[in-house]
């Protein structure tokens, strides 16, 4: 498994990262341990979780599963924004960040977080307050690198300018939804991240499973799958998207590959991308995701797939 640096000054991340949102939600502690072991065996060193996943249980399960191997990997987690029903007053966001970081450290059973993400932006809170609170965590050694998630181009630019003006630690990367069926970020957000020197970490690379071939046009969603369980995710199973999936599947088959490998390899072929986060509930899914990094696409192939 090859590694890439997150932005200009971030840590080295394995090209495939393990998304830990299933831990404590779809799989238990023992199943989590099996998935984490498979990831480590495959050379994956990038583990992405958040305090909101399973209400903190994901962090707890991940910390236990890593055990003595914690220092061999990069652990990324995220803090939630101020609750919507809590009005903004000066200092409330900083307190939320400090409280969240302490909780994550405790659940992960570690004394430092490699990459700490702002999970969602707080539009009403001053960026200065957010960045100053995060800078305190970096200076204390509790956090090593900062990043954000679900930000648009305007906020990425504003955050970089604010950090520069404050002389504080700045974001080194950004995480966003990006896959062959969700490409709006290519218009402004990805170019802005590139211009700012941020590493890009796509999540949902397989479009919640639609880009794996497990869902078939006109057939009921298989029992136990995300589409069968949660209607929100199933909304992308449109006729237009099935047309695209079938075109991608044919291209992959023509090259002796699966559509899942194509989806992940295509993202790794984007110059801005550092690591692609893929979730798993079983060890065999780790192997399937990991082999995708072995397919190194040419610029011509990346363009051909985009044109489909």
* In-domain check, residue 134: yes
**Does residue 118 lie within any of the structural domains?**
yes
46 three-state secondary structure: strand
In a domain, residue 232? The reply is no
Domain contains 245: no
Contact, 19 vs 203, CB < 8 A? Answer: yes
Could you tell me if residue 298 is inside a domain?
Answer: no
Q: What is the CATH number of the domain that holds 27?
A: 3.20.20.100
Catalytic hit among 53, 61, 116, 117: 53
In a domain, 91, yes or no: yes
Q: pLDDT of 204-252, one tens digit each? A: 999 999 999 889 888 888 887 888 877 788 889 899 999 999 999 999 9
Residue 173's H or E segment, with its range, is strand 171-177
pTM as predicted: 0.95
The string of pLDDT tens digits covering residues 55-109 is: 999 999 999 999 999 999 999 999 998 888 899 999 999 999 999 999 999 999 9
Contact in structure between 57 and 24 (CB atoms under 8 Å): yes
- Residue 64 counted as domain residue: yes
**pLDDT tens sequence across 2-51:** 999 999 999 999 999 999 999 999 999 999 999 999 999 999 999 999 99
Helices (H), the chain: 29-41, 57-66, 92-108, 127-140, 153-166, 189-196, 226-229, 231-234, 239-254, 259-268, 283-291, 299-307
Q: What domain range is 83 assigned to?
A: 3-207+271-281
Total domain count for the chain? 1
Count of other CB atoms within 10 angstroms of residue 299 = 9
Q: Tell me whether residue 63 is in a domain.
A: yes
Q: Is 88 a catalytic residue?
A: no
């Amino acid at each position: 498994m090859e590694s890439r640096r997150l932005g200009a000054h971030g840590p080295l991340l394995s090209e495939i990262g393990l998304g830990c949102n299933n831990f404590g939600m779809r799989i238990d502690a023992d199943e989590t341990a099996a998935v984490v072991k498979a990831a480590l065996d495959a050379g994956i060193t990038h583990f992405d979780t958040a305090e909101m996943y399973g209400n903190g249980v994901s962090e707890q399960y991940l910390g236990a599963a890593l055990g003595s191997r914690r220092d061999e990997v990069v652990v990324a987690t995220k803090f939630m924004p101020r609750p919507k029903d809590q009005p903004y007053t000066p200092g409330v966001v900083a307190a939320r960040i400090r409280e969240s970081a302490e909780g994550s450290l405790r659940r992960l059973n570690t004394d430092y977080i490699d990459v700490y993400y702002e999970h969602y932006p707080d539009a009403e809170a001053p960026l200065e307050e957010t960045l100053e609170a995060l800078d305190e965590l970096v200076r204390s050694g509790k956090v090593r690198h900062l990043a954000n998630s679900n930000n648009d181009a305007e906020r990425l630019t504003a955050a970089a300018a604010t950090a520069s003006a404050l002389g504080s630690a700045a974001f080194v990367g950004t995480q966003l939804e990006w896959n062959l069926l969700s490409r709006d970020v290519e218009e402004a957000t990805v170019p802005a991240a590139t211009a700012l020197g941020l590493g890009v970490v796509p999540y949902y690379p397989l479009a919640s499973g639609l880009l794996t071939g497990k869902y078939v046009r006109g057939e009921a969603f298989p029992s136990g799958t995300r589409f069968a369980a949660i209607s929100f995710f199933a909304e992308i199973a449109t006729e237009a998207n099935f047309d695209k999936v079938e075109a991608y599947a044919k291209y992959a088959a023509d090259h002796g590959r699966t559509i899942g490998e194509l989806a992940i390899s295509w993202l790794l072929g984007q110059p801005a991308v550092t690591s692609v986060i893929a979730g798993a509930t079983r060890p065999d899914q780790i192997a399937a995701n990991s082999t995708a990094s072995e397919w190194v696409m040419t610029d011509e192939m990346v363009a051909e797939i985009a044109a489909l």
